[in-house]
């Protein structure tokens, strides 16, 4: 699950919707992501994620204030689950044993300057969503292929009321739509706090800790390598420590072009041990944009020098075996481009 808090992209802007429109689509998008940090609201949201095995849908009650968020899943496979995002950590509340499973807020804030350098934003008309006037912004790559997004923004508050996310090959990957929304003056801080007396466990120790390449190399006991070739517009966003499902220390290099992302995982090669890389903790809501991708499920197989391409949702996972390590690359990129990046990694 990729839900987590982000720092503000920019200070909240003031002014009427008319003045914002005069500044153009780029400014509207900036206002929308500033509003994520400044606007308080309560909403019911419907989300649909299209995966390889079909679509998954859910209705979620959301309380949002100052970058903090509480989500209660009302329907769908996650019905009854509660997530609390306090801006530092994300907690899944498990009422059956009064346990909170914690994960770091993780993910870096969207780099708006980078996004606008690699993507163009155009106005797409007006719609009514949850009874409110919404302005459509269409975000598409300046140099295709690449993912794109359609974002509907509340003209009065700049809150995002709907987001449709498309993969680089044009498939609708996810859609999140506000069904109803209100804007109370304030919300109780108890909504974003853990219940007293609950036990907190870590989903993945050390995950989310940002490191230097040297620190990461020391953590896993082997040199960490970067690809010498990257897709156009991509920059290193961060270096993180993680573990495979079988407990092997692993480094995650996260690259982004502002919207799309490329993850390069690497760890020591243990013949026959398998990757054991699992999925995240649940369906994403898609309320914020972050670079980076989670780990994808699959068996590793065996054989030095093997290369496997696995189709994910969205994008591809490319797994490469070397004599001393395994690389896993995940991105919404054409296979040829992902292979070009992989081939630039040291043998």
Cα–Cα distance measured from residue 339 to residue 276, given in angstroms and rounded to the nearest whole number: 22
Cα–Cα distance measured from residue 302 to residue 306, given in angstroms and rounded to the nearest whole number: 7
More confident call, 202 vs 211: 211
Q: Give the residues across from 177 on adjacent strands.
A: 46, 162
Any idea how long the chain is? 347
Average pLDDT over residues 237-260: 90
Mean pLDDT over the full length of the chain:
81
Distance from chain centroid for Cα 177 = 17
Helix/strand/coil for 114 = helix
Average pLDDT over residues 115-143: 97
Question: In this prediction, what percent of the chain has a pLDDT beyond 90?
Answer: 62
Average pLDDT over residues 227-251: 90
For the cut 90, the answer to whether the pLDDT of residue 323 exceeds it is no
Domain with residues 205-343, CATH architecture: 2-Layer Sandwich (3.30)
CB half-sphere exposure, 256, CA atoms < 13 A: 24
For the cut 80, the answer to whether the pLDDT of residue 299 exceeds it is no
Token couple for 158: 């700049």
pLDDT-derived band at 102 (thresholds 50, 70, 90) equals confident
Residues of the chain with CATH 3.30.200.100: 205-343
Count of beta carbons in the 10 Å neighbourhood of residue 298: 17
Can you name the CATH fold of 17-200? outer membrane lipoprotein receptor (LolB), chain A (2.50.20)
Cα–Cα distance measured from residue 27 to residue 45, given in angstroms and rounded to the nearest whole number: 25
Average pLDDT over residues 89-117: 83
The C-alpha angle 25, 30, 32, rounded to 5 degrees, equals: 95
pLDDT-derived band at 23 (thresholds 50, 70, 90) equals low
Residues of the chain with CATH 2.50.20.10: 17-200
- Distances in Å between the Cα of 271 and the Cα atoms of 14, 220, 317, 326, 346 are 58, 17, 20, 10, 19
CB half-sphere exposure, 276, CA atoms < 13 A: 16
Look at residue 290 in the predicted model and tell me its pLDDT.
40
- Distances in Å between the Cα of 170 and the Cα atoms of 137, 148, 257, 262, 332 are 17, 8, 18, 18, 11
Average pLDDT over residues 12-17: 29
pTM for this prediction: 0.80
The C-alpha angle 191, 197, 203, rounded to 5 degrees, equals: 75
More confident call, 194 vs 162: 162
């Amino acid at each position: 699950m990729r839900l987590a808090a982000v720092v503000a992209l920019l200070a909240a802007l003031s002014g009427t919707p008319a003045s914002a429109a005069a500044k153009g689509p780029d400014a509207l998008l900036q206002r929308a992501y500033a509003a994520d940090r400044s606007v308080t609201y309560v909403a019911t949201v419907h989300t649909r994620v299209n995966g390889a095995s079909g679509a998954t849908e859910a209705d979620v009650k959301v309380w949002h204030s100052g970058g903090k968020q509480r989500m209660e899943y009302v329907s769908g496979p996650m019905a009854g689950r509660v997530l609390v995002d306090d801006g530092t950590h994300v907690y899944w509340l498990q009422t059956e044993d009064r346990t909170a499973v914690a994960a770091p807020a993780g993910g870096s804030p969207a780099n708006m300057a980078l996004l606008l350098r690699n993507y163009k934003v155009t106005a797409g008309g007006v719609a009514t969503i949850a009874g409110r006037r919404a302005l459509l912004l269409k975000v598409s790559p300046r140099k295709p292929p690449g993912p794109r997004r359609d974002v509907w923004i509340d003209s009065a508050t700049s809150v995002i009321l709907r987001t449709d996310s498309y993969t680089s090959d044009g498939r609708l990957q996810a859609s999140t739509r506000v069904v109803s929304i209100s804007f109370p003056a304030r919300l109780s801080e108890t909504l974003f706090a853990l219940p007293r007396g609950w036990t907190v466990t870590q989903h993945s120790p050390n995950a989310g800790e940002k490191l230097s390449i040297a620190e990461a190399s020391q953590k896993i006991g082997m040199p960490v390598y970067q690809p010498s070739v990257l897709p156009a517009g991509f920059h290193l966003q961060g270096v993180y420590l993680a573990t495979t499902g079988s407990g092997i220390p692993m480094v995650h290099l996260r690259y982004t072009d502002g919207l799309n992302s490329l993850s390069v995982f690497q760890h020591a090669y243990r013949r026959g041990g398998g990757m054991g890389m699992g999925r995240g903790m649940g369906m994403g809501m898609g309320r914020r944009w972050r670079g980076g991708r989670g780990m994808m499920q699959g068996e590793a197989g065996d054989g030095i020098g093997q290369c496997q391409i696995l189709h994910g949702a969205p994008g591809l996972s490319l797994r490469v075996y070397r004599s001393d390590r395994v690389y896993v690359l995940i991105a919404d990129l054409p296979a040829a481009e992902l292979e070009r990046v992989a081939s630039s990694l040291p043998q």
